[in-house]
Amino acid sequence: MVVKSVPELFAVLHSSKCLLLCSTEQKNKYNHGEDTTSENSSELNMSFESGQKKSSQDAMKDNESAESTRKRKEQDDAKQDPKCDMDSKDTILTNVVDSNDTTGQTKPSNGEKASEPSSPDAKLSKLTCMATEMTNLSPQLNASETCSTDVEMVSPHSPTSKESPRNLGENASACPDSESKTPIPNPDDDTKDISEVTEMETDDVEQNSTAVTEESNCNQTSSSASGQVDEQKETKWLGTPIEELRRRSQFGQSLPHLRATDNHKVLIRTDLLKAGELPIPYPLHKFRDSWDDMTVKMPCSEKNLFPVESEDGSGLQSRWELISSALKGGLKSSLDIRDAILSYNTAHAKRWDFTALNVLCTEGLENCEVQFLFNNILPAMVELTVKMPEICTQPIPLLKMGMNQSLTMSQKQIACLLANAFFCTFPRRNSRKSEYSNYPEINFYRLFEGSFPRKIEKLKTLLCYFRRVTTSMPTGLVTFMRQGLSNFPKWESSNTQLTRLHITCEGTIEDQGYEMLQVDFANRMVGGGVTGLGLVQEEIRFLINPELIISRLFTEALEHNECLIITGTEQYSKYSGYAESYRWKENHTDETPRDEWQRRRTEIVALDALKYMHFMEQFQPEKMTRDLNKAYCGFVRHGVDPQNLSAVATGNWGCGAFGGDTRLKALLQLMAAAEAGRDVAYFTFGDEELMRDVHDLHTFLKDRHVTVGTLYCLLKQYSNVLCKTALRPDVSLYGFLYEQVSSDPDPEPNMGPSDSHSEPSTSPANCL
């Protein structure tokens, strides 16, 4: 039976109430040893009129009919269930878990509110359950005992059913035990109290009024919850909307024609550069050899010799010939790779360990992946390696200390150089005592060492890159520019106002900061531990954009007044995690547009922070000045209109293992960016408190028109306060700034002279 009207529903409920009272009284008399058969019949006749008894009997018959209908429906559903083809395996698993949940609520995997069962049979089965198991119910109508969630489910505005329809199987006619039912919620939780239930049973008008009131309350609650969700979403970022910050593709300024100059080396034919076509090396098919201290010593150089035994006990052989023959001999296992590499690195045969490479091939990859690696990727990498004399045809200049010089090469040339790094072919680069001791490592031998899980994930990420470039070679260019400054702003006398700030606790520099100037929290040896154990911000960026790694081949360690700017690298991988939790996820297709030089509009600046052994050390005036100068060096572009400068995408620079204070570093970067004429997009990497603190201070300072010079003087004043404590300051930096600006919004810059050159100034306020 389907309940078609409210009166019919009340008749059924009234019948249930009648039987409930009868059954309870019968049970009480039985417990006292009385014969209750005739007495119960008499009490029943006295309690209700004959019309009411007839209504009760009709209701019971209707309930039995409804039960029969419901059972037939469930049998039909049971027959259909095995044939049901679900689109998503996750959906099936979710339903299985929910069907065993005692609360019985269906929880959608997408987090949406569960919907109320649409079939009336599920609701009627609750009513049948009430009528057939009276001994579990109390004759008194009170909220804690009688007004069960089953009765409430009859109301169209009541909460979602606590019993999942999937639980109503072969024992659907039997009520669940009272212990398994969820208690009725407190009236304060927007559910009906006992007076509302009573009114519903006795007065249709009151019932409708109650329903309207409940619906209104529900809507208000939903609206309030929606507002809270919106507020939470809004607090994920503060300040200027990121869409309003400038990006590279928004500039109308075009680049001049690409050409080689005295301080810009270009390794391709610029006159033949075309979009979508592989750049032509320059010179073509003619390798220019060089073996000096101004260029990279190439593996294919004729001066790269290898000692061999001869009849007279000594002899030299071309190392390049040995490399080519060893790699072309065929690589069928990780042991073959090891033997090939050691054959031309015999001096390191007893030290180099290839455990990580072996673990990758035996445990880290599926069998089909291993087969593809040895049948496809490695042979293509070998071919790319041995073609170095045809691909990289002129000497590669070293970007040495104190030199403002740029180098532009093709992505294919970079792929060739990285393949050589993988097979450890670069000479004089395997010892810290060599002539390249002030350069980062480039050969990958340390990447193959040990069985650390992070090494396996690193290798997966790099092999994803090699698979991509050996399958379809990218056609763009990449520029590496070493920039050093000899003159810096006089920070204490700067009248520059802070620029706009977007700050967020979500997102990443590489994703949300696309086409901005993206900061690499670098080591002075660029790339840090990317070929070793390191796996934090810089190493991760070098892994997902492997073309950055080749900068280690020719970039000498950075000085305090220098930075490295890389334009045009491509992202090849997606990842998750950080440090030990880092995992390679999947291939990534970079859709960043290219500029006129066929470079991706991805500009990354490597800024090395200082490492602090003691917390207070970083507040010394010369240390703060150093970081200001370093950031300014990376942000400034002399001769470029600030309107043609993209925003800086940065974050907690030097605040991890280097011990930097996040609030100080954020403020220093804001000051440097303002002086360079750039807005800032700041990523706190999940730190919501830092997001609010930096935003609030930035707003406070901008509203009061506090200049960069004033801030610099206040930082020096704070250094004086800090020197009075041994370990930690008594006053927080931001608290000090709030107090000083509020009491004296324009302090005099009388903290001592500032040197405009690269050497930071000394001051009476320092802590040395």
Q: Please check whether residues 318 and 413 belong to one and the same domain.
A: yes
pLDDT score at 312: 65
Tell me, yes or no, whether 764 lies in a domain.
Answer: no
Domain residues for the domain of 696 are 264-743
Confidence band, pLDDT 50/70/90 cuts, at residue 409: very high
Q: Which of 165, 185, 205 is the last residue of a domain?
A: 185
pLDDT above 70 covers a percentage of the chain that reads 65
Decide which of 66 and 162 is more confident.
66
Tell me, yes or no, whether 749 lies in a domain.
Answer: no
What's the domain count of the chain? Answer: 2
pTM beyond cutoff 0.85: no
Judged against a pLDDT cut of 50, whether residue 366 lies above it is answered with yes
Give the C-alpha separation, 94 to 428, whole Å. Answer: 59
Whether the Cβ atoms of residue 125 and residue 65 lie closer than 8 Å to each other: no
Judged against a pLDDT cut of 90, whether residue 439 lies above it is answered with yes
Which of 234-243, 671-680, 716-725 bottoms out in mean pLDDT, i.e. has the lowest?
716-725
Decide which of 319 and 194 is more confident.
319
Characterize the bridge pairing of strands 603-608 and 562-567: antiparallel
Q: For the residues 306-328, what does the mean pLDDT come to?
A: 86
Residue 494's Cα: distance from chain center in Å?
Answer: 37
Tell me, yes or no, whether 510 lies in a domain.
Answer: yes
Decide which of 149 and 285 is more confident.
285
Judged against a pLDDT cut of 60, whether residue 758 lies above it is answered with no
Q: Please check whether residues 142 and 270 belong to one and the same domain.
A: no
Q: For the residues 115-131, what does the mean pLDDT come to?
A: 38
**C-alpha distance from residue 297 to each of 263, 348, 439 (Å):** 20, 19, 13
Whether the Cβ atoms of residue 399 and residue 555 lie closer than 8 Å to each other: yes
**How many Cβ atoms from other residues are within 10 Å of residue 10's Cβ?**
17
Tell me, yes or no, whether 450 lies in a domain.
Answer: yes
Which of 193-202, 322-331, 699-708 bottoms out in mean pLDDT, i.e. has the lowest?
193-202
204 is catalytic: no
Whether the Cβ atoms of residue 1 and residue 124 lie closer than 8 Å to each other: yes
Judged against a pLDDT cut of 60, whether residue 171 lies above it is answered with no
pLDDT score at 71: 54
CA proximity to 656, closest of 540, 556, 570: 540
Per the residue annotation, which of 520, 562, 603, 693 is the catalytic one? 520
Tell me, yes or no, whether 751 lies in a domain.
Answer: no
Q: For the residues 378-407, what does the mean pLDDT come to?
A: 98
CA proximity to 509, closest of 648, 654, 692, 676: 648
Annotation-wise, does 514 bind a ligand? no
Characterize the bridge pairing of strands 477-484 and 237-239: unpaired
Confidence band, pLDDT 50/70/90 cuts, at residue 69: low
Per the residue annotation, which of 457, 539, 608, 679 is the catalytic one? 539
Q: Please check whether residues 672 and 583 belong to one and the same domain.
A: yes
Q: Please check whether residues 173 and 279 belong to one and the same domain.
A: no
AA letter at 355 = T
Q: Which of 185, 215, 233 is the last residue of a domain?
A: 185
pLDDT score at 75: 53
Q: Helices 537-544 and 453-471 sit at what angle, rounded to 10 degrees?
A: 30
CA atoms within 13 A on the CB side of 141: 15
**DSSP per position, 308-366:** ---TTS--EEEHHHHHHHHHHT---SHHHHHHHHHHT-GGGTTT---HHHHHIIIIIS-
Q: Please check whether residues 346 and 443 belong to one and the same domain.
A: yes
Q: Please check whether residues 296 and 167 belong to one and the same domain.
A: no
Annotation-wise, does 186 bind a ligand? no
pLDDT above 90 covers a percentage of the chain that reads 60
Q: For the residues 636-655, what does the mean pLDDT come to?
A: 95
CA proximity to 651, closest of 506, 526, 444, 528: 506
Q: Please check whether residues 467 and 571 belong to one and the same domain.
A: yes
Judged against a pLDDT cut of 80, whether residue 103 lies above it is answered with no
pLDDT score at 8: 54
Decide which of 16 and 161 is more confident.
16
Judged against a pLDDT cut of 70, whether residue 26 lies above it is answered with no
Confidence band, pLDDT 50/70/90 cuts, at residue 761: very low
Q: For the residues 101-116, what does the mean pLDDT come to?
A: 35
With the CA atoms of 8, 11, 15 and 16 taken in that order, what torsion angle do they form, in degrees rounded to the nearest 10?
A: 70
Which of 261-265, 562-566, 614-618, 764-768 bottoms out in mean pLDDT, i.e. has the lowest?
764-768
Tell me, yes or no, whether 200 lies in a domain.
Answer: no
Which of 156-160, 372-376, 425-429, 532-536 bottoms out in mean pLDDT, i.e. has the lowest?
156-160
Q: Please check whether residues 286 and 147 belong to one and the same domain.
A: no
Judged against a pLDDT cut of 70, whether residue 94 lies above it is answered with no
Three-class DSSP category at 472: coil
538 is catalytic: yes
Averaged pLDDT score across all residues of the chain: 77
Q: Which of 170, 185, 200 is the last residue of a domain?
A: 185
Q: Please check whether residues 451 and 550 belong to one and the same domain.
A: yes
pLDDT score at 65: 56
pLDDT score at 233: 54
pLDDT score at 78: 46
Confidence band, pLDDT 50/70/90 cuts, at residue 594: very high
Judged against a pLDDT cut of 90, whether residue 46 lies above it is answered with no
Which of 3-12, 184-193, 253-262, 610-619 bottoms out in mean pLDDT, i.e. has the lowest?
184-193
Q: Please check whether residues 33 and 144 belong to one and the same domain.
A: yes
Per the residue annotation, which of 121, 449, 538, 570 is the catalytic one? 538
pLDDT score at 79: 45
Tokens of 269: 């034919």
Annotation-wise, does 523 bind a ligand? yes
Q: Please check whether residues 424 and 561 belong to one and the same domain.
A: yes
Judged against a pLDDT cut of 70, whether residue 108 lies above it is answered with no
Judged against a pLDDT cut of 90, whether residue 31 lies above it is answered with no
Judged against a pLDDT cut of 70, whether residue 1 lies above it is answered with no
Tell me, yes or no, whether 199 lies in a domain.
Answer: no
Judged against a pLDDT cut of 50, whether residue 90 lies above it is answered with no
Confidence band, pLDDT 50/70/90 cuts, at residue 740: very high
**How many Cβ atoms from other residues are within 10 Å of residue 613's Cβ?**
6
Q: For the residues 610-638, what does the mean pLDDT come to?
A: 96
Whether the Cβ atoms of residue 239 and residue 698 lie closer than 8 Å to each other: yes
Q: For the residues 245-255, what does the mean pLDDT come to?
A: 87
520 is catalytic: yes
Which of 89-103, 292-306, 457-471, 680-694 bottoms out in mean pLDDT, i.e. has the lowest?
89-103
Judged against a pLDDT cut of 60, whether residue 91 lies above it is answered with no
Tell me, yes or no, whether 756 lies in a domain.
Answer: no
Q: Please check whether residues 608 and 721 belong to one and the same domain.
A: yes
Confidence band, pLDDT 50/70/90 cuts, at residue 728: confident
